[in-house]
Structure 1
Amino acid sequence: HLNADEMEQLNYFFSLAPDLKKAYIVKETFYQWLKESDQTNAKRNLEHLYKVIERSGLEEYQYMKRTFKNWEKEILNSFLFPYTNGFIEGINNKIKVIKRMSYSIRNFKRLRNKVLCSLI
């Protein structure tokens, strides 16, 4: 959502650093993949992202591509199933923080009660 002046500035920076333009194109393709993909076209759009990363030649994005390929099944499943474990991970993190802050509590029942009260 850049206006004409911002686009002109961006093109100026691209002329100074061609790798910046390549990185920008990969980033925009990635955002487009996240925004437009659903159950039916996620794999096809991901393959397009792989091609854009390959054409960029930037080593940092090659690492990202390898990571995506290693986790491709799980990534594509996230488009099929609307469930995440984010809520449980948040609870686990909260319990770990409480445990760190309550290091001096020697009574397990007291620690347990503190954790349970914080989750209400």
Structure 2
Amino acid sequence: MTADDSFGRLDDDDYPAYTMGRAADMLGTTQGFLRAVGEARLITPLRSAGGHRRYSRYQLRIAARARELVDQGTPIEAACRIVILEDQLEEARRINEEHRARNESRHNADA
């Protein structure tokens, strides 16, 4: 991958563009917090060739939500579980809406 290829991927929400230090700075938290949410399996950063953690924008949004809950007094393990459940609920809603729209279009085609 060339430098131009990497630059073009910066708008990709899943591209692991941020180092642990940069990610912690962006979230206003510590590298230890990022390690903790990784240990709780909320996010799994990719590793660079040198073994360094790299985070995507999507992962940073997930970690930021966990940080909000922790800042409100929720234990980190519980915060991570809540964020996972919120994410699953959102995905289920999206799937249900797709099914609803598909069924509606079939119903309209049959009418």
TM-score between the two structures when normalised by the length of structure 2: 0.30
Using CA pairs under 8 Å that are at least 6 residues apart, name the structure with larger relative contact order, 1 or 2: 2
Q: Looking at secondary structure, tell me which structure has more strand per residue.
A: 2
Q: Larger Cα Rg: Structure 1 or Structure 2? A: 1
